[in-house]
Structure 1
Amino acid sequence: MSSNSEWLGNLLREWSRRDHLQRREWLIQTYAATKHGEPEIGYLGRTWVTRSASYWVRRLALTFAYFLLACFIGSMFLGLGPYLLFSRGYSFNAHIPLIAKIALLVVWFAPAAAAYLMMYRSLVLYGYRKDRLLDEPAPTGFLAGRLLPLLAVPFLSIAGGLVVAMFTATLRAQFPGESAARAARRLYADEQRSRAAGRRTPSKKRRSGR
């Protein structure tokens, strides 16, 4: 288990995005080295290769599952702040000026927006499964890091931002993780062509020397 200083350093690198491209390249190379450049992507398996009917059934099922999470968990956590501030069922909010309520809403939603952007970018780059990155500095972010439990009480909206990001990332043309897999497939094909060309060159030299 990493020390707090190591974790803080990883978190700062995550925020600065300095190692995103390095981890992305490492993930692509790892994918290219497994199963002829066609690795399994979580629940999608290898259906992403041909995008058959099985691919779309699995993808729509996952999108629907994350949609339900976003509707229930996301709306519950994101809507908690506005509900407490504007609900008529609580007498304390009647004495809070409107400008103060707006300021409190900004404080409530700002961490959710930051969590959303970081989670969305992480999913676009690496997909939902980060197990192939365990040999590298572990992705920190808000989900894998220790920051979320510390801020869970004052900033419950963070959880809402995370869940909404997990849903909206499924609406992209390429499912999270699919882009890296396709890049790995191209890399594997290029490597195979290079090796085939390298084998042909010595054989041509031997024939010309006869």
Structure 2
Amino acid sequence: MTPSDIPKLPGLGRTWYKRGARYWLRRASGALLWFVILAFMCFIVLGLYQSFRPHLPAPLRTVWDWTQALAACGAFVWGWVKQRRDIREKMLNPPTPTQAWLDKRYATQRGQGLGRAAVLPALLVLPVVPALFAWCVGTIAAVFSVREYPSEVGARRALEHSRSLAGEQERLR
């Protein structure tokens, strides 16, 4: 098998095939990058939440803080469970390498038109933003904690399928 026969996958390149040190370095660096970004965003969110708290009456502030803490814990678990279920479903019907690239392109384009249109809804949900970000952290943690990505399974199956077709063509000759 030549290296050019191995398809590239988004975020992993061709390292998924051997799953060596370069593969695990790519996965670890991707996870670290996401967690640094999420930590920075959570820092900002907590700062925004702290700016919201003084406007609450003192007795309500304690109740609201505990409600936020419980909601954030629940949202983290919900994000984790939902993402793991989505991954399990994708493992049953994993994407081919081409489909993985199309999915990545679609996900990238989908996030681009928010801009100013998201400012007003963001201000309206400011009191519950910590729970929303806890959900995001749970989702991202679930993504990076799987042993193998669905795109890897799909690429492996596509590679095996192409090998079996090549073997079938050789037998017919």
What interval of TM-score do these two structures reach, taking the shorter chain for normalisation? 0.5 to 0.7
Q: Between Structure 1 and Structure 2, which shows a larger proportion of helix residues?
A: 2
1:153-168 equivalences in 2 (<5 Å): 153-155=123-125, 156-157=129-130, 158-159=132-133, 161-168=135-142
Per-residue deviation at 1:117? 5.6
Contact 1:36–1:185 (8 Å) recurs in 2 = no
Q: Structure 1-normalised TM-score?
A: 0.49
The reply to whether residue 71 of structure 1 matches residue 49 of structure 2 is no
Contact 2:77–2:138 (8 Å) recurs in 1 = no
Structure 1 residues 102 and 117, CA gap change in structure 2 (3 angstroms) = same
Contact 1:74–1:159 (8 Å) recurs in 2 = yes
Instruction: Point out 4+ residue stretches in structure 1 off by more than 4 angstroms.
Output: 78-85, 106-115, 142-146
Deviations along 1:134-167, one digit per CA (max 9) or x if unpaired, are: 89xx569x95786x92632222343553355224
Percent identity reads 19
Contact 1:37–1:181 (8 Å) recurs in 2 = no
Q: Which residue of 2 aligns with 1:21?
A: none
Q: Which residue of 2 aligns with 1:6?
A: none
Per-residue deviation at 1:118? 9.3
Q: Which residue of 2 aligns with 1:151?
A: 121
Structure 1 residues 163 and 105, CA gap change in structure 2 (3 angstroms) = closer
Deviations along 1:44-69, one digit per CA (max 9) or x if unpaired, are: 32111111222222222222222222
1:20-99 equivalences in 2 (<5 Å): 36=5, 38-42=7-11, 44-77=12-45, 81=49, 84-85=52-53, 90=54, 92-96=56-60
Q: Which residue of 2 aligns with 1:170?
A: 144
Contact 2:100–2:151 (8 Å) recurs in 1 = no
Rg bigger for which structure? Answer: 1
Aligned residue among 164, 173, 181 for 2:152: 181
Computed over aligned residues only, the root mean square deviation of the Cα atoms, in angstroms, reads 4.6
Q: Give ranges in structure 2 of 5+ residues lacking alignment.
A: none
Q: In the aligned structure 1, how far is the partner of 2:112 from the partner of 2:81?
A: 12
Structure 1 residues 77 and 196, CA gap change in structure 2 (3 angstroms) = same
The count of corresponding residues between Structure 1 and Structure 2 is 153
Per-residue deviation at 1:132? 0.8
Q: In the aligned structure 2, how far is the partner of 1:145 from the partner of 1:108?
A: 29
Q: Structure 2-normalised TM-score?
A: 0.57
Structure 2 letter corresponding to 1:187: A
Q: In the aligned structure 2, how far is the partner of 1:186 from the partner of 1:179?
A: 11
Q: Which residue of 2 aligns with 1:120?
A: 83
